[in-house]
Structure 1
């Protein structure tokens, strides 16, 4: 799988590899906990992977922050049309984290347990301020980008992917 992704990315110039990584990090279900290790394992510059992963995930949080009411209305209609009346497993887990730790705890833990997209949506749904959610998501994304980037710097050598 890694060889396929590496071959796919090498078809494009370096700048396009980072652009593609940015768009991958914008996808709601693909969090920084996936994007940064993937980019580093595939041989891209860890520093740029950390920055691009951070910016892509933050961009989605900002989009969610500024268009929350519209996104929530669309989501509620879609769930009603499908007959879904109960929260998902991820939503329940995120709500429990929010009740236990508040916005700071939810933001720090979310990249691994529920995803920053679900965590931000839940925080907005429960009435947290835009400023608080964005601020704590910036702290969380920066922290985890750095930790994951520096941790996975040696992984390409382990897997001999280069």
Structure 2
């Protein structure tokens, strides 16, 4: 995908960037700096990065019950009983800081999409999870966009 991004130009670069942001586990932490490093317009990159990540959070929020059933069947089929390292880390954050803490810390630690799923699994309401993840993604997207513009500008990469 990154090669496609480099080889295309115009609106197609933004479309590929959106697909990257939409992919699970590829958060704004990768998409925003990548787009800005390639010389794309920072505000557009931020909006597209946010939109792709938030769309996944929305999809997971709206279809959580179906996803949860599928995931449980898959885990049973593979014989997985213990939580993953990411899930354990998210559970510790959840127990210490609750939903706001998980939402604000998770994009950098476990990813916004996984954090949304975990928050729903831990019993939070769908609307609260979607709201807090939107706030968190907005904060991180703005910070990463500004940081990438000034960081890459300082290094004369863009």
What TM-score, normalized by structure 1, do the two folds share? 0.91
1:62 partnered with 2:58: yes
1:38 to 26, 29, 34: 34
1:50 match: 46
Q: 1:1-162 residue pairs with structure 2 within 5 A?
A: 5=2, 8-158=4-154, 160-161=156-157
Q: Would the aligned equivalents of 1:46 and 1:153 in 2 still touch at CA under 8 Å?
A: yes
Gaps of 5+ in 2: none
Pair 1:83–1:10, CA change in 2 (3 A): closer
Instruction: Measure, in 1, the Cα distance between the counterparts of 2:62 and 2:122.
Output: 16
Please give the per-residue CA displacement for 1:115-137, whole angstroms capped at 9, x wherever unaligned.
11121111101110111101111
What root-mean-square deviation, in Å, do the aligned CA atoms of Structure 1 and Structure 2 show? Answer: 1.7
TM-score computed with the length of structure 2 as normaliser: 0.93
Q: Say if 1:94 and 1:118, in contact at 8 Å, map to a contact too.
A: no
Count of matched residue pairs: 158
Gaps of 5+ in 1: none
